[in-house]
Structure 1
Amino acid sequence: MTGETLDNAARIVQLALTPVFLLSGIAALLNVFASRLGRVADQADALADQPDEVTRHARLRLLRWRSIALDWAVVLAALAGTLTCGAVLVLFLGEVRGSSAAMVLFLLFGGAIVLTMGALVAFVLEMLLAARGVRRVVDSSAAR
């Protein structure tokens, strides 16, 4: 291995760190999404024993919308992670093959960023739905 080859390899590894940091962030987001989805499922199970049919139906409908928003967040984040891994792979393969894969690399990494933004938007939607549910419970408790 010549000094120039080693320098090129070190440069590629350094460039690959940015997508790897994004991948770590996406993994953390997926963990949060999975935890929140578990909470939604627990709340739906708890509502199964509630005697008030009207209240139960309204809360289950809200939980359904929350789970849909979280489903989208999970799918978008997982796709973003896949594109990020693809960007790292293209980065390494482009260097090994000696070809310029800049356009593919930009498309994969840019797509990962866009999908991550979409996952965050879906997560914000779920958070707003959760806050709406909390306000409904507080309002109904205050009315009693």
Structure 2
Amino acid sequence: MTDPTGAVAHLIQTALTPVFLLSGIGILLGLFNTRLARVSDDMSHAADLLSGDVSPADNVNLRRHLVRLEHRRWLLDASIVIGAVGGASACAAAFVLFLGSVGKSAVDGWLIGLFAVALGCTVIALVVFLGDSLLAWRGLRQEGLLPRSITKVTK
């Protein structure tokens, strides 16, 4: 005979695992979105600077910044989408677990699959985010900070 309290405790423990994963994914998505907002602001600023009369050297530097920022934007967009799929999979895993406990149905395969997708997407989102970080670090080392103002071309 099994201990009913132990079985309930195990069910609660198992049900909380996807919830904790979902909480972590939510924090990551917030981080990704904040970083994307900063990149977007920098892109707008660089475009504004380019719209004025700029020296050829500043023009080249600003265009380099814009290319790097566009690559970073793409990587952050991918991180957000992949992270969102991971979050949806974590929610689905929690739902399938609930259905399995209520309906006494065989949902083990679904639960394992959805949880594996949630974990896999989270790892992939973090790897893609690492790509953004590497691009940002490389850009800072090679090009420096995005200038806040530029030298106007005198005629």
User: Could you say which TM-score interval applies, normalised by the shorter chain?
Assistant: 0.7 to 0.9
* SS of structure 1 residue aligned to 2:144: helix
* SS of structure 1 residue aligned to 2:48: coil
Aligned-residue RMSD, C-alpha = 1.9
Alignment correspondent of 1:91: 97
> How do residues 71-82 of structure 1 correspond to structure 2 at under 5 angstroms?
71-82=77-88
Alignment correspondent of 1:70: 76
How far apart are residue 92 of structure 1 and its match? Answer: 0.6
Q: Distance in 2 between matches of 1:117 and 1:7?
A: 32
How far apart are residue 94 of structure 1 and its match? Answer: 0.7
Q: Distance in 2 between matches of 1:92 and 1:103?
A: 14
Q: Could you tell which deviates more after superposition, 48-57 or 87-96?
A: 48-57
Q: Distance in 2 between matches of 1:55 and 1:137?
A: 7
How far apart are residue 54 of structure 1 and its match? Answer: 1.4
Alignment correspondent of 1:26: 25
- Contact 2:75 2:129 (C-alpha < 8 Å) held by counterparts: yes
Q: Could you tell which deviates more after superposition, 48-57 or 83-92?
A: 48-57
Q: Deviations over 1:60-90 (max 9, x none)?
A: 0100000000011000100000000000000
Alignment correspondent of 2:150: none
Query: Among 107, 114, 118, which residue is 2:113 paired with?
Result: 107
Larger proportion of helix: 1
How far apart are residue 45 of structure 1 and its match? Answer: 1.3
- Contact 1:12 1:92 (C-alpha < 8 Å) held by counterparts: no
> How do residues 3-82 of structure 1 correspond to structure 2 at under 5 angstroms?
4=4, 8-50=7-49, 51=54, 52-82=58-88
Q: Percent identity, aligned pairs only? A: 42
Total equivalences in the alignment: 137
* Cα 1:132–1:65 shift into 2, 3 Å: same
Q: Distance in 2 between matches of 1:126 and 1:116?
A: 15
Runs of 4 or more above 6 Å deviation:
none
Where does structure 2 lack aligned partners over 5 or more consecutive residues? 148-155
How far apart are residue 53 of structure 1 and its match? Answer: 2.1
1:116 aligns with 2:122: yes
How far apart are residue 133 of structure 1 and its match? Answer: 1.2
- Contact 2:61 2:143 (C-alpha < 8 Å) held by counterparts: no
Where does structure 1 lack aligned partners over 5 or more consecutive residues? none
- Contact 1:79 1:115 (C-alpha < 8 Å) held by counterparts: yes
